[in-house]
């Protein structure tokens, strides 16, 4: 039963990343008629209303200490992450943001090591991380090698990766409280939307109904709201509760791989052999990071007490 539950957790994380990897396509198409902040607000409004219909009951916490977990998760995982990432795109190249965003598993592992019991930073994770990042860099360059430093934009992208790591760790803490996953996710969305309100005023938000006449716009917004927000945040948070913050975050490595495949199939963008090599390295990095000591032949005890044993799968 435990093995089946773990397998289900991996499947939930993979499906989530599969959908998230395609969100860039919908967002790119919606940017013709909507601003970044408008897309962000509308998708989470749709997501919140969907979760409200699915689970209308209120999640009552047992005090402000627990409520604070939801507040921080909403601020980091919904408001700050998406705002920082979108603003970073205006100052630096998309390839830079893509590579930097993919290092969030490293920040997650470091934070989890110091704040979550049983989630330790190990050598196999670091080895896999290096392999995956090399692969992701090749994917984002896609043969052009135009990766350049843009201090402000790159810094914002790094901050986005850090706040997503904070979100993952806090959602792991929330999962241990025993509340309903859908209800907890909706509560996080509520605080995220609440913190988003000041940004709506300062970032040129308009409610132009004519843009919603387009069937294409509606379909992409519903995809981002129903699938990428409501469904995916629930499945991701559920996976966090089963696999832990570190193992779940490893699936973020797959986002660039899925994006280039989706871009090729939907937008008919070319994929070079450099990008295909990068995809292969990314998959290897994921396997190495998630592998067991026996599989990888690693004997290092990095960040691990002498008496700690690594359980085999």
- How far is the C-alpha of 7 from the C-alpha of 37, rounded, in Å? 36
Domain of residue 277, residue span: 2-296
Is residue 146 in a domain?
A: yes
Is residue 265 in a domain?
A: yes
Q: What is the pLDDT of residue 45?
A: 95
- How far is the C-alpha of 43 from the C-alpha of 37, rounded, in Å? 10
Q: What is the pLDDT of residue 311?
A: 38
Q: What is the pLDDT of residue 295?
A: 38
**How would residue 73 be classed by pLDDT, with cut points 50, 70 and 90?**
very high
Range scoring the smallest mean pLDDT among 94-98, 116-120, 127-131: 94-98
**How would residue 306 be classed by pLDDT, with cut points 50, 70 and 90?**
very low
- Report how far apart the first and last C-alpha atoms of the chain are (Å, whole number): 13
Burial bucket for residue 268 (CB in 10 Å: 0-12, 13-18, 19+): exposed
**How would residue 117 be classed by pLDDT, with cut points 50, 70 and 90?**
low
Q: How many domains is the chain built from?
A: 1
Q: What is the pLDDT of residue 235?
A: 94
Is residue 41 in a domain?
A: yes
Question: Is residue 44 scored above 70 in pLDDT?
Answer: yes
Q: What is the pLDDT of residue 31?
A: 80
Burial bucket for residue 54 (CB in 10 Å: 0-12, 13-18, 19+): middle
pLDDT tens, position by position, 271-280: 677 777 877 8
C-alpha closest to that of 46 among 224, 246, 188, 220: 224
Q: What is the pLDDT of residue 104?
A: 82
Q: What is the pLDDT of residue 303?
A: 36
**How would residue 110 be classed by pLDDT, with cut points 50, 70 and 90?**
confident
Most confident of 1-15, 137-151, 298-312: 1-15
Q: What is the pLDDT of residue 309?
A: 39
Is residue 103 in a domain?
A: yes
Q: Are 136 and 282 in contact (CB under 8 A)?
A: yes
**How would residue 96 be classed by pLDDT, with cut points 50, 70 and 90?**
low
pLDDT tens, position by position, 134-181: 877 776 665 444 445 567 777 888 898 899 999 999 999 999 999 999
DSSP 62: S
Classify residue 297 as left (phi > 0), alpha (psi -120 to 50) or beta: left
């Amino acid at each position: 039963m435990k093995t089946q539950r773990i397998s289900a957790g991996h499947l939930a994380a993979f499906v989530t990343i599969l959908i998230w990897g395609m969100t860039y396509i919908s967002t790119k198409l919606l940017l013709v008629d909507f601003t970044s902040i408008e897309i962000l607000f509308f998708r989470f409004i749709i997501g919140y209303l969907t979760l409200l219909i699915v689970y209308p009951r209120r999640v009552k916490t047992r005090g402000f200490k627990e409520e604070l977990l939801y507040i921080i998760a909403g601020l980091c995982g919904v408001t700050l992450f998406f705002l920082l990432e979108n603003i970073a795109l205006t100052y630096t190249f998309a390839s830079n943001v893509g590579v930097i965003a993919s290092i969030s598993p490293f920040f997650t592992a470091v934070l989890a090591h110091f704040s979550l019991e049983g989630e330790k930073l190990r050598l196999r994770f670091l080895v896999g991380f290096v392999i995956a990042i090399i692969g992701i860099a090749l994917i984002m360059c896609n043969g052009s090698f135009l990766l350049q430093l843009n201090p402000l934009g790159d810094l914002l992208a790094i901050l986005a990766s850090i706040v997503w790591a904070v979100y993952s760790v806090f959602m792991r803490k929330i999962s241990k409280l025993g509340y309903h996953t859908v209800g907890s996710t909706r509560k996080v969305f509520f605080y995220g939307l609440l913190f988003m309100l000041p940004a709506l005023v300062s970032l040129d938000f308009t409610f132009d109904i004519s843009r919603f006449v387009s069937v294409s716009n509606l379909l992409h917004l519903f995809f981002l709201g129903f699938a990428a927000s409501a469904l995916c945040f629930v499945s991701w948070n559920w996976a966090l509760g089963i696999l832990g913050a570190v193992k779940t975050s490893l699936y973020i490595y797959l986002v660039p791989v899925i994006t280039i495949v989706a871009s090729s199939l939907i937008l008919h963008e070319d994929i070079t052999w450099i990008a295909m090599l990068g995809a292969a390295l990314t998959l290897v990095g994921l396997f190495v990071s998630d592998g067991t000591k026996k599989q990888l032949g690693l004997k290092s005890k990095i960040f691990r007490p002498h008496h700690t044993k690594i359980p085999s799968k």
